[in-house]
Amino acid sequence: MEENIKIFGVKINKTTLDGAINKVKEFLKSNDNNPKAIYTPNTEIVMAAKDDNFLRKIINDGDLVIADGIGLIYASKIKKRPLPERVTGFDLSIEMLKLANKEKYNVFLLGGKEGVAKQAKENIIKEYPNVNIVGFHNGYFKGTHISQPGHNEEKKVIEEINKSGAHMLFVGLGAPKQEKWIHENKDKLNCKVIIGNGGTMDILAGMVKRAPDIYQKLGLEWFYRLIKDPKRIKRQMVLPLFMFKILFSSQDVIE
Ligand code: UDP
């Protein structure tokens, strides 16, 4: 079976949540010195990458790319190249924490406002006491994500991560900042797997609530977020445009 499809040229792995965590297990056991990068694009990011060659290249270079957006699933089904299910960055991150809890992997948390990663750490160890959170750092240092690659502050963060002995690195700098940061820096890092997981840290810290199950089951998480935070309307305007292009483009939008 083919491993991935491309939506507007952006690679998405055909995987379930179970399949994704199995891939992570493989990454952790691999002898490869380079960390494996996991990206979690939603529909907005695919739309951004469609028009941004560099972002598209970054995502296509990822070792595992999961579809964190219901629009991507609908599009894949409409075009008869179905993705099995939506796999969110949050859900995969939780599975990774459960795995770390079971197998005693070390985790480093990078991202969020000052204090958020620390709070996330405290909440994580309450729930998963065997997870070893070996370090954390806020996401407001100077570095690649804000167009200052190689800045001293970034170098220090990388050194901290490398010294911590982390196997898993969570990078929550928002998209596409985190993708750019991971792509630029992964070769300098000595962990095994890096996931760009957006606002996961905020949820783990209890700052932001996930949509109730019913919204998730109905594929309406975007709607819940919109009513909670109406400012998102501007970003979410790309969703109908995405569906329009999927339905009416004459070229092969999904390969
Ligand atoms: N963030 C960060 N550094 C930055 C920008 C954002 O750590 O330079 C964090 C922010 O605190 C939040 C997450 O990234 O935890 C997502 O940020 P935002 O809401 O801006 O991104 P989006 O929701 O658009 O992905």
DSSP string, 211-223: PPHHHHHTT-HHH
What's the gap in Å between 78 CA and the centre of ligand 1? Answer: 32
Handedness of CA 241, 244, 249, 254 (dihedral sign): positive
Task: State how far the Cα of 86 lies from the Cα of 180, in Å rounded to an integer.
Answer: 23
pLDDT at 254: 82
Helix (H, G, I), strand (E, B) or coil at 198: coil
Residue (of 28, 146, 7) closest to 96 by Cα position: 28
**Cβ of residue 145 lying under 6 Å from some atom of ligand 1:** yes
**Cβ of residue 124 lying under 6 Å from some atom of ligand 1:** no
pLDDT digits (tens, 9 = 90+) for 172-197: 999 999 999 999 999 999 999 999 99
Burial of 14 (0-12, 13-18, 19+ CB in 10 A): middle
DSSP string, 34-65: SPEEEE---HHHHHHHHT-HHHHHHHHT-SEE
What's the gap in Å between 215 CA and the centre of ligand 1? Answer: 23
pLDDT at 77: 93
Task: State how far the Cα of 117 lies from the Cα of 123, in Å rounded to an integer.
Answer: 10
Residue (of 154, 197, 147) closest to 172 by Cα position: 197
Helix (H, G, I), strand (E, B) or coil at 134: strand
Domain ranges of the chain: 4-204, 213-245
Distances (CA, A) of 177 to 39, 108, 124: 12, 18, 24
**Cβ of residue 198 lying under 6 Å from some atom of ligand 1:** yes
Regions of the chain short of the pLDDT cut 50: none
Token couple for 213:
């199950």
Q: How many C-beta neighbours within 10 Å does residue 113 have?
A: 13
What's the gap in Å between 198 CA and the centre of ligand 1? Answer: 7
pLDDT at 251: 67
Write down the pTM of the prediction: 0.94
Half-sphere exposure of 21 (CA within 13 A, CB side): 15
Helix (H, G, I), strand (E, B) or coil at 90: helix
CA-proximal residue: ligand 1, atom 25 (nearest):
174
Task: State how far the Cα of 64 lies from the Cα of 168, in Å rounded to an integer.
Answer: 14
